[in-house]
Amino acid sequence: MEAQENKITRKSCTPIKVYCLPEERAVIEENARRAGLSASTYLREVGQGYQIQGVTDAEQVRELVRVNGDLGRLGGLLKLWLMNDAKVAAFGPNTILALLQRIETNQDRMSHLMEFILRPRAES
């Protein structure tokens, strides 16, 4: 019981003041916001040499899921054509080439989105 009374917490310790210009403060606060941290936590983590991992942009993740769904549907059409399914019997070589081009385009978009999501926020 006595050990809990003597427990040291961050809030009970003396804070460190950081003098900076308003522009510098704005940059620090923006970087902290991008990382999903308070300015205090952001500065503590950076000051101790930790690499800040940014919050993944939910909009980009939704777009990635949508592109992945498109790839699945296009792959399904290609599979039906390769199996000579009656549903796609009218598809000619030009249609299949266009389908393959769309699959390649979606793969490129997916790669670009993954790079954007996984790239550290400090570089963006």
pLDDT in tens, 77-94: 888 888 888 888 888 888
120: pLDDT strictly greater than 60: no
Q: How confident is the model at residue 124 (pLDDT cuts 50, 70, 90)?
A: very low
- Please report, for residues 64, 67, 86, 87, 94, the alpha-carbon distance to residue 116 in angstroms, rounded to integers and kept in the order given: 11, 14, 40, 38, 33
71 and 112 both lie in a single domain = yes
Q: Is residue 114 part of a domain?
A: yes
* Residue 88 confidence (pLDDT): 81
Domain that holds residue 43: 2-47
- pTM of the predicted model over 0.75: no
28 and 72 both lie in a single domain = no
Q: Tell me the pLDDT tens digit for each residue of 25-75.
A: 999 999 888 888 899 999 999 989 888 776 666 677 788 888 888 888 888
Which residues, 6+ apart, have CB-to-CB distance to 31 below 8 Å?
42, 52, 121, 122
* Residue 39 confidence (pLDDT): 92
* Residue 28 confidence (pLDDT): 93
122: pLDDT strictly greater than 50: no
Q: How many domains does the chain have?
A: 2
* Residue 29 confidence (pLDDT): 93
40 and 68 both lie in a single domain = no
34 and 71 both lie in a single domain = no
Q: Is residue 25 part of a domain?
A: yes
Q: Is residue 53 part of a domain?
A: no
CA–CA dist 80, 88 (Å, integer): 7
